[in-house]
Amino acid sequence: MAIILGVDPGSRITGYGIIRAQGRHIEYIDSGCIRVGEKPMAQRLQSIFQSLATLIGEYRPEEFAIEQVFMARNPDSALKLGQARGAAIVSAANSGLEVHEYSARQVKQAVVGKGGADKSQVQHMVQALLALSRKPQADAADALAIALCHAHMSQSVLRVASAGGKVRSGRVRQQS
């Protein structure tokens, strides 16, 4: 049984989602947002780092998944997002967690079934897949979707490996 911490990084709001996955059974544990507000950037990054370190200490995840950086229209926004990702990744790495990265398209494909899904579709599917009584806040839903994507991808790799295949460069090859 693996506890997975998914993170949707942001320079003002960083979403997190924690699930437990065993085979095809997935259980919701916790989710929320780290809100850092209008502090200077260095203090925001420190808050992201420390908040994630606290969550890692409390829930003891075995796996960590984060959204890859995407090219924003505003270069300044992309740089700030990259810095927030860096703070999150270092927090995970300091705790000995391997970092798994997924594109927004991969996450949406895994959770909604189409890579171009919008935020409300992701929220709806996260609520349905985890049997939540209400829709999670958008950033928390995105983080849960990242954790779900990782759980699905991990299961796919295990199925291929148990069938005698090897995964290389994103392709599956049968063993001789």
Q: In this structure, are residues 22 and 1 in contact, taking their beta carbons and an 8 Å threshold?
A: yes
User: Can 139 be counted among the known catalytic residues?
Assistant: yes
Contact 63, 154 (CB under 8 A): yes
User: Is 139 labelled as part of a ligand binding site?
Assistant: yes
* Active-site residue flag, 118: no
Whether the Cβ atoms of residue 63 and residue 96 lie closer than 8 Å to each other: no
Q: Find the catalytic residue in 8, 58, 98, 118.
A: 8
Residue 148's contacts (CB-CB under 8 Å, 6 or more residues apart) are: 6, 19, 26, 110, 111, 126, 129, 130
Residue 142 annotated as part of some ligand binding site: no
Active site residue 8: yes
| Catalytic, out of 27, 76, 139, 142 | 139
Catalytic residue, from 63, 67, 76, 98: name it.
67
E-only strand ranges, 25-162: 25-35, 63-67, 99-102
Query: CA dist 3 to 18, 20, 159, Å?
Result: 7, 4, 19
Whether residue 67 is annotated as binding a ligand: the answer is yes
Summarize the annotated binding site as residue ranges.
8, 67, 139
**Residue numbers belonging to the annotated binding site for Mg(2+):** 8, 67, 139
- Active-site residues, by number, are 8, 67, 139
